[in-house]
Copies of this chain bind each other. A is one copy, B any other.
Amino acid sequence: MKIKNPRTGQFYYEIFPPSAKELKGKTDLMREAQILWAKSGINFRIQALQAWKVVIEEFKDDLIDALCMDTGRKLETILEVDFVFSSIDRWSNISRHFFLKTERKPSFIPFLEIEQEYEPYSLVGVISPWNFPLFLSLIDTIPALLAGSAVVVKPSEIAPRFIEVLQKTINQVPDLLGVLNFIEGGEETGEELCKLTDIICFAGSTSTGQKIYQSACDNFIPVFLELSGKNAVIVTETADIERATSAILWGSVTNAGQSCWSIERIYVHKHIFHQFLSRLVAKANQLKLAFPNMDSGQIGPIISEKQVAIINDQLEDAFRKGAILKAGSIKCEELGGGYYFRPTILTNVTHDMKIMTNETLGPILPVMAYTNIDEAIKFVNSSQYGLSGAVFSGKEVEAMSIARLMKCGAVSVNHAALNGVLHEGEISAFKIYGIGGTRTGVSTIEKFLKKKVYLINAKDVKNS
């Protein structure tokens, strides 16, 4: 399977998906290794992950190089790698607390006492996307490992260059080696994985997510899906326009808009619309494409070639229906074999344009004025998606009352787009954003645990 470089459009790498038989052999061994892993206890597992962290640190440059080649961008790559380190530490803390031994406790039946225990699923399958190849391949993997499961990860075939480096780091941690495997492959390998694992975690497009749900159903296993978004922000009349424009721009164009929590719809009160727009346009025009070099600017290439056509189609549809270009370009620019979009601001947009209803995954900012807050809320909630959103307001009471009416799993107040990384709260699926549990907070660990109770006839046992 040949892989393109997103900066050059050239085939530059090849991956070798395992055969169904090889995959079966591998997962059989992992199931064996998992028995000891689960038994060894939380402190042992934390130590193994900490040892891994040290090795990743040694390979940090190689990992960053590979990820830069995978994605064509640098700044987000460095953040991504750094985040893995803090992530291991924070998950270690959460899981250490979670596994503190539970005491036996009374039940409502006088002679019965209760003891709660947890048993991890043996083998967790993770199918992760190309937009943050490292971070999203680990977001479920780390808590699953700490829960005591073995984990087999299949990152997207669009950005698979980092797998080789990461697998090298795993090979240096004997305690982890048997229970963690990164495998290369495409859709076929992903489907095979659904047949071999006890539970499947997927993040990616809605259409592939629906296929994964079907595979999980066919194989009668639980499934966790995190899919598309069309995240909106509301900017009220009282908002700090300087702060709002900077944060929203950042929340829309980071990683060239290729994040599930990227802001893709901007609703601004009509009284500040023009002022907001002019500041947003001015700031957007200051950003540069990261071309010819990764350091030349802030906006990297579109990683998935398939996405280029989707974004172009959404733009064309918008312009045909009357949208006006205020910054950026009317369509994708091909530079040196890669595909780029400048931060692109549209006005005169309506909700019958694809750009306002479908996930874009590009640095496109459609801005619409609203008359009153009821209308703005209605616009926000008209979407079929419900991952995240944001609100900017100068008044806390106003901000929170708006936030509470937005139908999505996370709302940022007076900032944008950090919802995927805060373990102090838990986010779950709204509307067709997904199926199943959260990926932040302690419930993430519980996803990978079967709950088992002992109902003990205490009177009898104590007599013995």
Contacts and interface: CB of A to CB of B under 8 A. Distances in A.
A167 interface: no
Given A214-B217, A413-B461, A453 B432 contact: no
A426 B116 contact: yes
A425 B114 contact: yes
A455 B108 contact: no
Interface stretch (A132-140, A157-165, A415-423): A415-423
Interface in A32-87: 86
Contacts of A438: 451
Interface string A205-219: 000001001101100
Contacts of A105: 424
Contact of A460 (B111, B243, B452): B243
Greatest chain B CB density within 10 A among A222, A409, A440, A454 is at A454
B222 A213 contact: no
Greatest chain B CB density within 10 A among A105, A395, A423, A424 is at A424
Nearest to A406: B452
Contact of A419 (B396, B400, B407, B453): B453
A461 B427 contact: no
A369 interface: no
A220 B111 CA distance: 44
A189 interface: no
Given A114-B424, A399-B461, A464-B394, A451 B411 contact: no
A205 B41 CA distance: 36
A112 interface: yes
A414 to B, nearest CB: 4
B408 A455 contact: no
A90 interface: yes
Given A399-B461, A426-B116, A411 B220 contact: no
A106 to B, nearest CB: 7
Q: Is the interface of A mostly helix, strand, loop or mixed?
A: mixed
A299 interface: no
Contacts of A435: 220-222
A394 B464 CA distance: 6
A451 B422 contact: no
Given A414-B461, A424-B105, A217 B217 contact: yes
A414 B456 contact: yes
Q: Count the copies.
A: 2
Interface in A214-246: 214, 216-217, 220-222, 238, 240, 243
A411 to B, nearest CB: 5
Contacts of A126: none
Given A210-B220, A220-B432, A464-B394, A451 B427 contact: yes
A117 interface: yes
Contacts of A243: 460
A415 B460 contact: yes
A452 B410 contact: yes
Contact of A427 (B221, B400, B452): B452
A182 interface: no
A273 interface: no
Contact of A454 (B109, B210, B394, B403): B403
A171 interface: no
A450 B429 contact: yes
Given A213-B220, A217-B214, A415-B460, A453 B112 contact: no
Given A112-B415, A460-B414, A460-B415, A422 B453 contact: yes
Interface string A437-464: 0101101001001111111110011101
A412 interface: yes
8 contacts: A396-B461, A399-B456, A411-B452, A411-B454, A413-B455, A415-B457, A428-B451, A430-B450
The 8 tightest CB contacts between A and B, nearest first, are: A425-B453, A414-B457, A428-B451, A415-B457, A414-B460, A426-B451, A217-B217, A413-B456
